[in-house]
Amino acid sequence: MKQKINYFILLLLLLSAYILKDSIHISTNLLSLFAPKEALGRLAIANELGYSKEMFIAVKGFTKESKKELKSIARELKSLDGIKEVVYTTRPDKSVQNYFREYYPVLADFDARKLSDAEIQNRLKELYKSTQKSLFYTPINRRDPLGLFKMSQDPLFASHKGRYLCLNNYGYLIKVSTDISPSEMSKAEKLYKDVQKVLLKYKNVVAFAGFFYTVENSAKIKADVERIVLLSTIMLLIIYFVMLRSLRLLLHTTIALVSSMIFAALICTTTMENFGVLSLAFGTSLTAVSIDYFFHYYFHNFYQSGKTFDKSVFFGYLTTISAFGIFAFIDLPMLSQISIFALLSLSFAYILFTFVFPYLDIAPYEYKGEQRYFSLRVPAYLITIFSLGVLLYSMDVMHFNDNIATLDYQNKKLQKAQALFSSAQGEKLYPILVEAPTTEMLIARLHTIKKHTKRSLSLANFVPENQFCKQREAEIARYGFEKLRERTERISEQLGFKKGYFNDAYRFVQKPRSCSDIELDIFHKYNLSVYRGSKGIYTIAFVDSLKSIDGLSYAGAIDAKAIFAKVANAMFDEVLFYALIVICVIMLLLFVSVRERFFYALNYVLFPLALTLGVIVTFDTLNIMHLFALIILIAIGIDYGIYMSNTQKASRTMLAIRYSLLSTFAAFGVLMFSSIVALNSIGVVITLGCLAIYILIKGMR
């Protein structure tokens, strides 16, 4: 019965997974893994406000045919599920037109200079001329015949031809608001397919939306990951089979690893919000590291020894989980998620390999032959000095790549389309999230931002500040429109206008509407809306420079690239800080566990770190995934350092490490064949690290 315990554990876990299947949440949003919580909060609100839910479609050329296509595409898109609004003209919608009409006295520029009778006469004569001589029919503005109010609007659409929106000189443009945020995979996939079906009928059409990346890249990433996982699994199975030469043992080992992965995955995905798919993939691979506990036990015949505890394996495990335990507190979702996953899966694997495997009746390993060292073996202190030198060199030449986009799958086609649509803005405008406790303060803050920037687009382009409204009301009250109307009536009659024609002139200024009544939700056509959250009111503004909002506590960037670039250095410092704590703890634990062979064991951390970092900073730029992989490398290195330092049977330990290295390469190293930069970076680090550790076991004394 006890021999079957491994199977029962797996069954129990699978049953739990089935029961909990509805509580499992996995996020595919890459950014949510990197951005700090505060930026994530901003992004969640921006999502509510419709940010990154826009789609752009350009029809090449300005021919009759392209205009027809434009209208036809717009018509078809309007009927699709998930599409909220389709805009291809500059014409404001009815609610905005009404707004301009109702608030005209406040929104228009007002010439408050008092007019003489002669000036009134001249202006009315001009009116007469325009109606009688103009090439086209010109109606008389009976509300404001003297033209005291003039609407001067900021250009809201960067480029248009007549009333049609344009993408510079490329062609006509359609702006589409959708319900789809880039993280909603199934909805995104459906709309993507529907849109592609519509566009297939038209030639010379380019389309772009943030969620296109989700759909296209996910498919590419999935295919790439499937290829890598298959390669990795085949390699692992071959390696384990060749090493263990027992199908039964291979099965038990695989079950133990799978159980550990399921255990950690279940806890992480049911209890943690936004647990990322990348953390899951990464954590799952990381579980394979625990195979070295098994190898060490197996090659040292621990299961037949009757012992219940092996000091080396325990210290290896303790040091590794201490490192991950510290990293779990880092304010970087991906790193903390991976660390928690590793903590859980490695602990579960340690328990299985240590306390369950002795009951499985594992046959003893028959050791044949001795492991050979290199002919030239270098003293440990020299390797320590060399490693520290390389680390210092690396710190000096290190350049950190803060562009998160370079980590993703490089979808050249979409990147080209995105660049095409970005160029339509002329000077790039960056989206920012602005918050305030009240609507009045929100508008005031948007006006402050408008004053601080050369170019911006926000509700401040449409809505005046309350203070301005009050000033305008006072100005209008002082002006004396009653008298002006009487004079206009009198003079117009003298000029031949019909009696009483201007009887209603300037009555529209009598009761200007209060600015606090302005409905802010009507400007969604310009991607401007408000979200009322529990902590205040939020809106998105677009500014030409993010520096202009530096120091404004109520405004923050929501552009993924900008967020990452801004936090990258702080994040890098934080990772370094935590890495230093981890190294200190490792040194302490190493000292406790290996004592006099301290530097020898420490080299298993320092040398792989130095070699890998040295190669990367010399030939590439360091990215966040390199950093994560270096942390894994530390975790692997510690175990081997402790095993090699404490070993009584060096040859067996070397053999165990060699096989562990092979399995680590099969689990992680194969990632270097991935076309996704994030995965490739991990693969490169782990492969170089494995090579460095191999050099150490063979060539250090």
Partner 1 sequence: MRLLLSFFLLFSALYGLPFTEIRYSDAFNKSVTLQGNITFGDERVSIAYKENNESLFYDDGDLTIYENGKEHPLDAMQEERMAAFFDILLLLHSNNQRLLEENFDIKHTKAYDILLPKGDMQEYIKKIEIARVKGELSFVKLFLKNSDTITIKIENETED
Contacts with partner 1 by CB under 8 A lie at 62, 64, 67, 89, 91, 94, 127-128, 131-132, 135-140, 142, 161-164, 496-498, 501
Minimum distance from residue 518 beta carbon to partner 1 (Å): 21
Closer CB to partner 1, 37 or 129, in the complex = 129
Nearest distance from C-beta of residue 163 to partner 1, angstroms: 5
Q: Which residues of 108-129 are buried (b: 16+ CB within 10 A; e: fewer)?
A: bebeeeebeeeebbebbeebee
∠ CA 567-571-576, rounded to 5°:
160
Find where tokens 């027992």 sit. 246
Query: Structure tokens of 278?
Result: 């990348």
Under DSSP, is residue 231 helix (H, G, I), strand (E, B) or coil? Answer: helix
Nearer to partner 1 (CB atom), residue 65 or residue 370: 65
**Is the distance from CB of 666 to CB of 630 less than 8 angstroms?**
no
The closest of 225, 276, 224, 272 to 29, measured between CA atoms, is: 276
Token pair listed for 534? 């529990």
Provide, rounded to whole angstroms, the least separation between the CB of residue 62 and partner 1.
7
Cβ neighbour number for residue 324 with a 10 Å cutoff: 27
CB 519, min distance to partner 1, A: 19
Closer residue to partner 1 in complex, CB, 502/538: 502
List C-alpha distances in Å: 288 to 229, 328, 664. Answer: 13, 19, 7
For partner 1, the closer CB: 95 or 467? 95
DSSP-derived secondary structure for 69-114: HHHHHHHHHHTSTTEEEEE-BS---HHHHHHHHHTHHHHSEE--PP
* Separation in Å, CA 81 to CA 46, 177, 206, 209: 22, 12, 20, 16
Structure tokens at 602: 């420490």
Dmax over CA atoms of the chain, in Å, equals: 121
- Cβ of residue 166: shortest distance to partner 1, in angstroms? 11
Distance CA 233, CA 228 (A): 8
Q: Of 144 and 544, which CB lies nearer to partner 1 in the complex structure? A: 144
Task: Output 70 or 693, the one with its CB closest to partner 1.
Answer: 70
Nearest CB to partner 1, comparing residues 139 and 306:
139
The CB-of-137 to partner 1 minimum distance in angstroms stands at: 6
Q: Shortest distance, CB of residue 103 to partner 1, whole angstroms?
A: 17
Name which of 615, 641, 658 is nearest 700 in CA terms.
641
Q: How far is the CB of 138 from partner 1 (least distance, A)?
A: 8
Two tokens, residue 509: 């200024």
Shortest Cβ 515–partner 1 spacing (Å):
24
